[in-house]
A and B are shown apart, each in its own frame.
Chain A
Amino acid sequence: MAHTLPSGNQASDQDKWDSGGLECKRQLLIEIVMRNRLTALVVDGDTTCWVPEQELLHSYGVQTLGVDNSRDAVDLIASDAEFNLIIIEKILLVLNGLEVTMQIREIGVRCKMLEVTACSGESERQAFLATGVDVFIEKPLDPEHLVPILGELDGQ
Chain B
Amino acid sequence: MERNPIRRQLAIMRQSLFDQGHVDEQFVQLEELQDDANPNFVEEVVTLYYRDSARIILNIEQALERKPFDFRKLDAYMHQFKGSSSSIGAKKVKAESTLFRECCKSGNGEGCMRSFQQLKKEYATLRKKLGAYFQ
Contacts and interface: CB of A to CB of B under 8 A. Distances in A.
B81 to A, nearest CB: 8
Contact of A90 (B14, B38, B48, B79): B79
Contacts, number: 77
B40 interface: yes
B117 interface: no
Interface residues of B, number: 35
B36 interface: yes
B83 A117 contact: yes
A55 B37 CA distance: 12
Interface stretch (A35-43, A44-52, A71-79): A44-52
What is the interface of chain B mostly: helix, strand, loop, or mixed?
A: helix
A90 B80 CA distance: 10
A95 to B, nearest CB: 14
Contacts of B83: 46, 48-49, 89, 91, 117-118, 139
A56 B35 CA distance: 12
A49 B76 contact: no
A32 interface: no
Nearest to A55: B33
B135 to A, nearest CB: 13
Interface in A54-68: 55-56, 59
Question: Which 10 residue pairs are nearest across A and B when measured between Cβ atoms?
Answer: A118-B83, A48-B84, A118-B82, A139-B86, A2-B39, A48-B49, A49-B87, A140-B26, A140-B86, A48-B52
Given A48-B53, A52-B33, A118-B83, 14 more contacts: A1-B42, A2-B35, A48-B45, A48-B49, A51-B48, A52-B45, A55-B33, A55-B38, A91-B79, A118-B80, A118-B86, A120-B98, A138-B86, A139-B86
Interface of A: 1-2, 12, 46-49, 51-53, 55-56, 59, 89-91, 117-120, 138-140, 142-143
